[in-house]
Amino acid sequence: MDLIKHRYLLLPLLIILLSFALDKLILLENVHTYFSKSLSDINYIQKKQLYSDLKDYLASPNRKKVLVYFGNSRALLFDTSYIEKEYPGWTLFNFSVPGGKSDYTLQWMEKFEKDNVRPDAFLFDQSVELYNASATLKVDETLTNGLEVSFVLRHFNLFSTDDVSTLIAKRMFRSYQYRPKLEVIIARAKQKEKFLYSYRELRNNLLARLNQNRGSAMTPGTHQAILPAELLKKSSLGDFHSYLVPFKFSENTLTFLDKSIEIAKKLKVPTATIWVKLSLPYLEHIRNDRISVEGDQVGTAYNVWLPRILEYQKRVGVPFWNMNDDPTYTCNEFSDAGHMSPSCYRDYSDYIMKRVVLLNP
């Protein structure tokens, strides 16, 4: 076929190439801040620097012992200076990110194995929501912000067709992910000092805090972020139905975690997992509400999920720190159904570090 003669046949390809180029242009930091609203991508961006810092720190003489924590938005607000003060000889490098899942953890653990990076302890998150393969509202931030295409291809059999579609749509064409709105662009262009520059400052400040605090970001002035009881009940019911109804156990989530634990054992690094504290109203729904589970059965998410996790943890010989069924943990102040208030983070830090010290004396 003579493409020169039938040049109109090149038009669709030209349109795709121009769209792709425009998409990449608008993602430049000084461009996409005209319309984006999220800060969560900063956490993912910062982890590359954190990994470099970790390798340098582990090679330094007279260093502290290092805990590496792979979690999600329930593990973002630690104060590293508090941990270093209260637990001399230890520090935290926090690889937790919003929406963090076991696939993202494995991607990093493969890098740790390749580079022979050996901290003194690993802590992996065990969140019940991430084990639901049938959630109404799926958590896909690792797909859109964190996972490399090469990683997905290596573990292709562990991703659903929906996951792959999301990866292609939102990673190849980021404007589909951010969906720029003209009214937001106009508002920020008209009032740059009020909207645009302040948003850029928020992003820059968050990145600086993450770098300074080794992957954690304790935002000043947020210690009063405690949701009133009635609003907490509404938040709990909404999150429960969004993330856990109906419930079908995800074997793939467990497979990703299992591969990470295998690497940790190869590296000979002591390891534990944790189910971070949830608000009491949210936990009551998880424990007691009878819903559709495993396709055609009726039961509770708690009774489907927890026994399988306990059996797995016993089989691999890795401690499971269950904050939700541990009467020794008593801080119950929450910003929403699934996130402890920053006012609880010292108690949260103590809970983890007292066990880490015993995990690697």
pLDDT reading at 187 higher than 50:
yes
Confidence of residue 221 (pLDDT cuts 50, 70, 90): very low
pLDDT reading at 329 higher than 60:
yes
Token pair for 358: 């015993």
pLDDT reading at 16 higher than 90:
no
Distance between CA atoms of residues 213 and 79, nearest Å: 7
Domain ranges of the chain: 46-141+223-359
How many CA atoms lie less than 13 Å away from 274 in the CB half-sphere?
Answer: 24
Q: What is the pTM of this model?
A: 0.87
Distance between CA atoms of residues 329 and 10, nearest Å: 65
How many percent of the chain have pLDDT more than 90?
Answer: 64
Tell me, which fold does domain 46-141+223-359 have in CATH?
Answer: Rossmann fold (3.40.50)
Distance between CA atoms of residues 277 and 283, nearest Å: 9
Distance between CA atoms of residues 204 and 191, nearest Å: 19
SS3 321: strand
pLDDT reading at 277 higher than 50:
yes
Q: What is the mean pLDDT of the chain?
A: 87
